[in-house]
């Protein structure tokens, strides 16, 4: 049974959400501030964290960065009333796996939780080490290296790279990538995939014309050629 840690100080949100999660069969832990949330992460080993962006003691972004630093494989979904595009970018850049704006429908949030848990389980089934060309990826520690130098990748960038490298020379469709790296309920357009591919290419030194590692298959998707 998956254990969900909810880090949320607003009782109007936390109380009904905790009841719904318990009804859906999850074990639930509640922390009303960032300090207690980090303690629960360190001591309870939750399966997933629901993290409010605005907390009374520590900014949710800082909590997310600390979680990602200590437990890079732990899925984090951010909850926030700030839904502007820049807030989304900053939240994902801090290492969040998903971003749900308030107010949200409880059924949709539960669906996203289940999808993110499925993605985490699939990641555990990947080989521990992936390599191709100058790149090496450790899926257990969630660390990636270019010619021996560690790369600074966001959570989504890492998942994207690991997915493509898991099956070299196989073309993944846009739909397959969005379903696996984001989830089947992703609310945005696939333009975010193009943005992540572009940034990832730059970080791995593949921003050439044409790219040689992450290849675009026009009208279909992308493949890794290592």
Task: Give residue 96's pLDDT.
Answer: 83
pLDDT, mean of residues 180-184: 71
Give the C-alpha separation, 115 to 112, whole Å: 5
Within this chain, do residues 164 and 118 fall inside the same structural domain, yes or no?
no
**Domain end (from 123, 156, 176):** 123
**Cβ burial, residue 92 (10 Å; 0-12/13-18/19+):** buried
- 71 in the Ramachandran plot: left (φ > 0), alpha (ψ -120 to 50) or beta? beta
pLDDT, mean of residues 177-197: 74
Phi, psi of 103 (to 5 degrees): -75, 150
CA atoms within 13 A on the CB side of 127: 11
Give the C-alpha separation, 116 to 139, whole Å: 16
Phi, psi of 105 (to 5 degrees): -85, 130
Task: Give residue 188's pLDDT.
Answer: 52
Within this chain, do residues 9 and 61 fall inside the same structural domain, yes or no?
yes
pLDDT, mean of residues 198-218: 94
Within this chain, do residues 86 and 113 fall inside the same structural domain, yes or no?
yes
**Domain end (from 123, 146, 165):** 123
The H or E element spanning position 202 is: helix 191-203
Within this chain, do residues 190 and 218 fall inside the same structural domain, yes or no?
yes
pLDDT above 90 coverage of the chain, percent: 55
**For the CA atoms of the chain, what is the radius of gyration?**
18
Within this chain, do residues 7 and 42 fall inside the same structural domain, yes or no?
yes
Domains: count for the chain: 2
Model pLDDT for residues 154-175, shown as the tens digit of each residue = 888 998 999 999 999 999 999 8
Widest pairwise Cα distance in the chain: 53
CA dihedral 171, 175, 180, 181 (to 10 degrees): 90
Q: Let me know: does 96 contact 64? Beta carbons within 8 Å.
A: yes
Question: Does residue 82 surpass a pLDDT of 80?
Answer: no
Least confident of 79-93, 104-118, 132-146, 204-218: 79-93
Beta bridge partners of 137: 130, 144
Domain interval for residue 196: 127-224
- Residue 136 pLDDT grade (very low, low, confident, very high; cuts 50, 70, 90): very high
Q: Within 10 A of 65 (CB to CB), how many other CB atoms are there? A: 15
Within this chain, do residues 118 and 9 fall inside the same structural domain, yes or no?
yes
Question: Does residue 179 surpass a pLDDT of 90?
Answer: no
Least confident of 82-86, 121-125, 220-224: 82-86
Q: What is the CATH number of the domain that holds 112?
A: 3.40.50.2300
pLDDT above 70 coverage of the chain, percent: 91
3-class secondary-structure state, position 183: coil
Within this chain, do residues 16 and 89 fall inside the same structural domain, yes or no?
yes
Task: Give residue 1's pLDDT.
Answer: 79
Within this chain, do residues 199 and 102 fall inside the same structural domain, yes or no?
no
Structure tokens at 35: 């300090």
Q: Within 10 A of 162 (CB to CB), how many other CB atoms are there? A: 22
The whole-model pTM stands at: 0.64
Give the C-alpha separation, 106 to 51, whole Å: 15
Within this chain, do residues 205 and 145 fall inside the same structural domain, yes or no?
yes
């Amino acid at each position: 049974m998956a254990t969900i840690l909810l880090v949320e100080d607003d009782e109007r949100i936390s109380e009904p959400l905790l009841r719904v999660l318990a009804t859906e069969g999850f074990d639930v832990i509640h922390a009303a501030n960032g300090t207690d949330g980090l303690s629960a992460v360190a001591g309870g080993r939750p399966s997933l964290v629901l993290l409010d962006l605005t907390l009374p003691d520590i900014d949710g972004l800082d909590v997310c960065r600390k979680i990602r630093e200590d437990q890079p494989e732990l899925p984090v979904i951010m909850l926030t009333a700030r839904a502007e595009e820049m807030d989304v970018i900053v939240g994902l850049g801090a290492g969040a796996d998903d971003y749900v704006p308030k107010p949200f429908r409880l059924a949709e949030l539960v669906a996203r939780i289940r999808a993110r848990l499925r993605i985490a389980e699939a990641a555990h089934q990947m080989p521990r080490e992936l390599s191709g060309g100058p790149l090496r990826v450790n899926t257990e520690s969630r660390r990636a290296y270019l010619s021996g130098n560690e790369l600074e990748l966001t959570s989504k960038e890492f998942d994207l790279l690991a997915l493509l490298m898991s099956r070299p020379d196989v073309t993944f469709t846009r739909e397959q990538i969005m379903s696996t790296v984001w989830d089947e309920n992703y609310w945005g357009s696939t333009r975010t995939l193009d943005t992540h591919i572009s940034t990832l290419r730059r970080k791995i030194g593949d921003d050439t014309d044409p790219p040689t590692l992450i290849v675009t298959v026009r009208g279909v998707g992308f493949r890794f050629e290592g």
